A and B are shown apart, each in its own frame.
Chain A
Amino acid sequence: MAKKKRNVVEKESVVVKFVGDSGDGMQLTGDMFSEEAALAGNDLATFPDFPAEIRAPQNTIAGVSGFQMHMGSSKIFTTGDLVDVLIAMNPASLKANLKWAKKGTTILTDTDAFDDKAIEKAGYKQDPLKDHSLDSFNVIKAPITSLTKESLKDKGLDNKTAERSKNMFALGILYFIFNRDLKASFHYFEKRFKKKPELIDINKIALQAGYNYADTIEALESVIQVSPAKMEKGRYRNITGNIATAWGLLAASEKSGRPLFLGSYPITPATEILMELSKHKSLGAKVFQAEDEIAGICSAIGASYTGSLACTSTSGPGLSLKSEAIGLAVMTELPLVIVDVQRGGPSTGLPTKSEQSDLYQALFGRNGECPVIVIAASTSENCFYYAYEAAKLSMEHMTPCILLTDGYLGFGSALFKIPRMADMPAINPPIAKANDPDFKPYRRDPVTLVRKWAIPGTEGLRHRIGGLEKEDIIGTVSTDPLNHQKMVDYRNAKVEKIADFIPLQEVVGNPSGDLLVVSWGGTFGAVHSAVKVLQDEGKKVSHAHFQYIMPLPKNTGEIFSGFKRIVVCELNSGQFVNYLRMKHPKHDYYQFNKVQALPFMINELTDKFNQLLEEK
């Protein structure tokens, strides 16, 4: 076959989404495509979008599984709003995702999957590939299933096995469209299927066949080039937020010399943290899959008492179950890291979707006066640093810390510049020395108000702690009214004083202007990108993205004073903005909220900001 010469179109960034039935292998295909992009030097961010059911009925909208990736030759901050290339393996996945396509989007479809039954099951009245409803898109109609089978006909495979390789055929087409090399994927097959060598060949053939097919068809006028991004020198890898969180905890354990203990119960979207840490027993991690959320945190409190870096990972409903035990950790003044990978709530809510609606729960969801440190990660890769920071603050200040991430960060992936452990900040827990004559369970450091961590087994430090109010210094049970007041004040002040040990809040843009955009946690990418659009237009807009929430950075009020208007954007009905109203009541706050279990789109943010800038 003669190769056609094609135009090469250079693009700064491209959003690609793979969608199909949940058994079609879209996650794997997306992963492989991302890996290839990373090797080609692009920056990227990915997000898997799968149904809560493991195998929902075939060819239904409910069963659509997707994987979105955004790659570029410059820094990538989000997984992208609208899609440039959509790979839709069946009618249902096309129907469910067409709303993310824009004029001119390339849509690759498997025409073999568009039979009458599947078209009807997807809720189409007629075949969308034939009724001109897709005329504004660049549709590639490829009989992927039959061509895959044809390419493998010499292999003597049964129909089902041959069909299963159709995702590789589709990936081959994509590789051609993006001018990618097949070698890395070949290498991947060789590694992955070491024990089933027949699969190496099958996948190679299907991938190559897809690539060759794309080369011959008329529909492809041009190929897309995304050049390597200019990135900081160093060693890189791809990482999801949940893995980064798990690794951050391991790093903090190694640095502090405190063995890692995780007591957790499986819950979407936090389970990967539990699964990942179970793999790392060689680093001494003790991972306990508990009988419930409560046992998860209570076992961690037991481990913390004995001197471990103790952690529990969960999502919103699990955090509710852990409330009483968090109170015990606050009262006993033990370090404890609680990771909440937020999802849509209340109740069971939307387990696989993301929102920021656990902030109130993290700040206030306990009986009594019960302050804890609350911090939030903002990207998949910085989950590593914020998990590390949560462990550091919790141990050094002998108080529980809630780390908020969310499903988008947890499941999503980004490129991660690999740090060196030698460069990570030191962690110095206040461990009591054997036979310290001055040791008392609740004697505090006069500056930080932190008590000492007296580890069972140590000579001369036997003591009892517990959930009943304790007498100042000596730590015996006390119901004295003035002592209670004093201890409540100490516990509050101890957490407030942490403001002296965290970085000042940064502002992206000028320290004064017409509008300060405030956001926190997992919305960083979208909000940052939207602010940049307006800044590039010369508007006086700046951005303050918060990651330290309790306590807030010391310069928060000062920053707010520099702007005519402040708008707080978050994926809930206004939890952070109300917290700011409480902590910094002198300022007026506008708010922009969305509770659709979807991330912010850049243009909805810029619309809102423009509207605020235009209002008098």
Chain B
Amino acid sequence: MSDYVNMTIERSNVPLTKLDFESDQMVKWCPGCGAHAILNAVERVFPKIGYRKENFCIVSGIGCSSRFPYYVNTYGIHGIHGRAAAIGTGVKIANPRLSTWIATGDGDSLAIGGNHFIHIIRRNVDVNILLFNNQIYGLTKGQYSPTTPMGKITKTSPQGTIEHPFNIGELVMGAQGTFFARVPDNNINLMTECMFEAAKHDGTSIIEIMQNCIIYADKAHAGVTGKETKDENMLILKNGEPMLFGKEMKKGLRLKDTRLEVVETGKGGIKAEDILIHDQYNQDPGIHTMLAKLAPPYFPMVFGVIRSAMFPTYDDLVEEQIKFAKDNSKIKCVDDLLNSGDTWEID
């Protein structure tokens, strides 16, 4: 499957393993933090992607998530709060032959860095963004974030928050996102698969990782991804397959009028062919947006690659314009430029 990744990035001529990407730094996340699983998945997927190890670059902002670059043995920059997307944009434009990954969190990307987040998506810069969504500010010890559910008591909301949280998928689609996947931190296979899909996708890939902060927002996602709830509350999408979930895999989604509804095959005349088939490559974001917004109690939450649509990337267009200019301009060097237009000799 690695034939599908970006062909302009140089591939490793020796097989790589997880060990090639482990750094010598002590990992300082809390024991039991969901971030450990994310690190594990990245170290597993990078060798599989197959680029030279020098061609990976990881960029981050500030927060627990953003210590990530120190823990992976690639090139990397640990930036400043909220600016990972902007720094990553510069890395990718300046050198499109780097597989560029951004590690960020819900505070970093959706609060202080919200502007850069929507604009990198709108431009479709070819980077992969791992968005650790733990619904809390962890590194500053427990203040609510833009994804904290309404009413949640935190250190800065002793009576409960009075803010509507962002749905990250909806925000991504609203910003004309071309790739969105959602994964839980307790399913490393799904996480790895989605990271691989993100690497394959040309354009800005957002992976929302529902990460557990064991200290300040423990079990925030348990109502969806917990052992007891996941069968009924999680629908894991597979491209080209019907959108089924539930213990028996009999429940599914179908389109009725303009809305999605949950139905059960074999009940009330519902047949297998009534269930929607997932098309992650559909350019129209309509169904993808509806899927991203679903949540319990009336719907399952949708996981896996929700959208992966082909559109030109910003960095490709930059290269195209430069090539066109080089092929067509009379100005080939700075001496040409200095002597262009109106000039005259004085002797």
Chain A residues within CB distance 8 Å of chain B: 35, 38-39, 41, 231-238, 247, 250-251, 254, 259, 261, 263, 280-284, 286, 288, 290-292, 294-295, 298-308, 310, 324-325, 327-328, 332, 418-421, 456-468, 476-477
Contact = CB atoms under 8 A, between A and B. Distances in A.
A601 B197 CA distance: 66
Contacts of A420: 335
24 contacts: A35-B342, A232-B346, A235-B343, A254-B333, A280-B337, A281-B325, A282-B328, A283-B331, A283-B333, A302-B92, A306-B95, A310-B90, A421-B333, A421-B334, A421-B338, A456-B75, A456-B95, A457-B10, A457-B95, A457-B98, A459-B54, A464-B75, A464-B76, A467-B78
Interface of B: 10, 23, 25, 52-55, 57, 59-60, 62, 69-70, 73-80, 83, 85-95, 97-98, 115-116, 119, 318, 321-322, 324-326, 328-329, 331-335, 337-339, 341-347
Given A302-B87, A306-B98, A457-B54, A467 B80 contact: yes
**Shortest beta-carbon contacts, A-B, top 5:** A466-B78, A302-B90, A299-B90, A282-B329, A298-B86
A462 B54 contact: yes
Given A291-B115, A462-B73, A235 B339 contact: yes
Could you say which of A263, A290, A305 has the most chain B C-beta atoms within 10 Å of its C-beta? A305
Contacts of B93: 261, 286, 288, 299, 303
Contacts of B79: 298, 301, 328, 466-467
Contacts of B115: 291-292, 295
Nearest to B58: A464
B11 to A, nearest CB: 13
Contacts of B325: 280-282
Nearest to A420: B335
Given A235-B344, A286-B318, A476-B70, 5 more contacts: A235-B346, A251-B338, A328-B79, A461-B54, A464-B78
A582 B2 CA distance: 62
Nearest to B347: A233
B54 A234 contact: no
B345 A234 contact: yes
Nearest to B92: A302
A303 B344 contact: no
B335 A288 contact: no
A465 B25 CA distance: 13
A148 to B, nearest CB: 27
Contacts of B90: 261, 263, 288, 298-306, 310
A235 B53 contact: no
Nearest to A299: B90
Given A295-B116, A462-B73, A325 B80 contact: yes
A303 to B, nearest CB: 4
A306 B94 CA distance: 7
A461 B55 CA distance: 11
A283 B337 contact: yes
A286 B57 CA distance: 20
B336 to A, nearest CB: 9
Contact of B83 (A284, A295, A468): A295
A161 to B, nearest CB: 27
A28 to B, nearest CB: 15
A456 B337 contact: no
Contacts of A328: 79-80
Contacts of A288: 89-90, 93
A292 B119 CA distance: 10
Nearest to B328: A282
A231 B70 CA distance: 59
Given A302-B90, A465-B77, A231 B337 contact: no
B94 A303 contact: yes
Given A284-B326, A465-B77, A301 B345 contact: no
B75 to A, nearest CB: 4
Contacts of B344: 38-39, 235-237
A476 B70 CA distance: 8
A467 B54 CA distance: 22
A236 B343 contact: yes
A133 B119 CA distance: 58
Could you say which of A288, A307, A325, A328 has the most chain B C-beta atoms within 10 Å of its C-beta? A288
A297 B333 CA distance: 26
Contacts of B332: 282-283
Nearest to A292: B115
Contact of B88 (A302, A466, A467, A468): A302
Contacts of B337: 247, 250, 280, 283
A295 B318 CA distance: 17
Given A288-B90, A299-B93, A303-B94, A464 B69 contact: yes
Contacts of A291: 115-116, 119
A232 B346 CA distance: 7
B80 A283 contact: no
Nearest to B340: A237
Contact of A302 (B62, B91, B321, B343): B91
B150 to A, nearest CB: 28
A307 B77 CA distance: 13
B308 to A, nearest CB: 25
Contacts of B77: 301-302, 305, 332, 464-466
Could you say which of B76, B79, B87, B93 has the most chain A C-beta atoms within 10 Å of its C-beta? B87
Contacts of A299: 86-87, 89-90, 93
Contacts of A302: 59, 77, 86-92, 94
Could you say which of B331, B337, B345 has the most chain A C-beta atoms within 10 Å of its C-beta? B337
A281 B321 CA distance: 7
Contacts of A38: 344
A571 to B, nearest CB: 30
B95 A307 contact: yes
Contacts of B76: 463-466
Contacts of A301: 77, 79, 87, 90
Contacts of B97: 457
B78 A234 contact: no
Contact of A463 (B55, B75, B89, B326): B75
A284 B322 contact: yes
Contacts of A305: 57, 75, 77, 87, 90-91
Contact of B343 (A237, A251, A290, A477): A237
A462 B80 contact: no
Contact of B335 (A35, A421, A461): A421
Contacts of A332: 77
Nearest to A328: B80
B346 A41 contact: yes
Could you say which of B77, B79, B322, B331 has the most chain A C-beta atoms within 10 Å of its C-beta? B77
A39 B74 CA distance: 58
Nearest to A248: B334
A79 to B, nearest CB: 20
A250 B340 CA distance: 14
Nearest to A434: B54
Given A236-B343, A261-B94, A477-B70, A419 B338 contact: yes
Given A306-B98, A459-B54, A476-B25, A298 B83 contact: yes
B342 to A, nearest CB: 6
A52 to B, nearest CB: 25
A387 B153 CA distance: 53
Contacts of A461: 54
Contacts of A306: 57, 90-91, 94-95, 98
A302 B52 CA distance: 20
Contact of B334 (A247, A292, A458): A247
Given A282-B325, A295-B83, A462 B338 contact: no
A332 B87 CA distance: 13
A306 B321 CA distance: 21
